[in-house]
Amino acid sequence: MERVTIRPAGPEDIPAIVAMLADDPLGATRESPEDLAPYRRAYDRLRSDPHQFLVVADREGEVVGTLQLTIVPGLSRKGSTRSIIEGVRVHRSERGRGLGARLVEWAVEESRRQDCHLVQLTSDAARPDAHRFYERLGFTGSHVGFKMQLGPA
């Protein structure tokens, strides 16, 4: 694990990130790795927002993991800033070696640096292994995560 660095994602990392998003039972139905144009537009939106941190885990030049961290100021809890983790993915070849934990721990430390008082994320109810993973890292599954898809208006 010592040769893995966590660094901001560059535009050259987009194909590797999308491949990881798609290589997943839920992601396979939702992603389009054959057409990167929408991902490049989304990357530009991310890079123009100073409260977004898209990072990759880089093992000697190969992208082996990714995660997105969003910093959200707010009034509740005495004006606490919170952070939200999304899109945690680890390359198939690296699973079971602690890289997911290292990515999430990076996000928690970055959240502290950004003066956040709370880190949160949602995990699909169909991923019990992920739930145990987050509990081991110190998260509490205290909430229900609600989602609504918006179709074309």
Q: Is 2 or 69 the residue whose CB approaches a second copy more closely?
A: 69
Of 56-64, 66-74, 92-100, the segment contacting a second copy by CB under 8 A is 66-74
**Residue 72: what are its φ and ψ, rounded to 5°?**
-125, 105
Please measure the distance between the N-terminal and C-terminal CA atoms of the chain and give it in whole angstroms.
46
106 binds a second copy per the rule CB under 8 A: no
8 binds a second copy per the rule CB under 8 A: no
70 binds a second copy per the rule CB under 8 A: yes
Question: Smallest Cα–Cα separation from 50: which of 63, 69, 78?
Answer: 69
Among 49, 97, 98, 132, binds a second copy (CB under 8 A): 49
CB 37 within 8 A of CB 14: no
Rounded to an integer, what distance in angstroms lies between the CA atom of residue 106 and that of residue 111?
8
Rounded to an integer, what distance in angstroms lies between the CA atom of residue 64 and that of residue 99?
9
101 binds a second copy per the rule CB under 8 A: no
**Residue 64: what are its φ and ψ, rounded to 5°?**
-120, 5
Contacting positions for a second copy (CB under 8 A): 14, 17-18, 21, 27, 30-32, 38-43, 45-46, 49, 51-52, 54, 68, 70, 72-81, 84, 86-87, 108, 111-112, 116-125, 131, 134-135, 137-150, 153
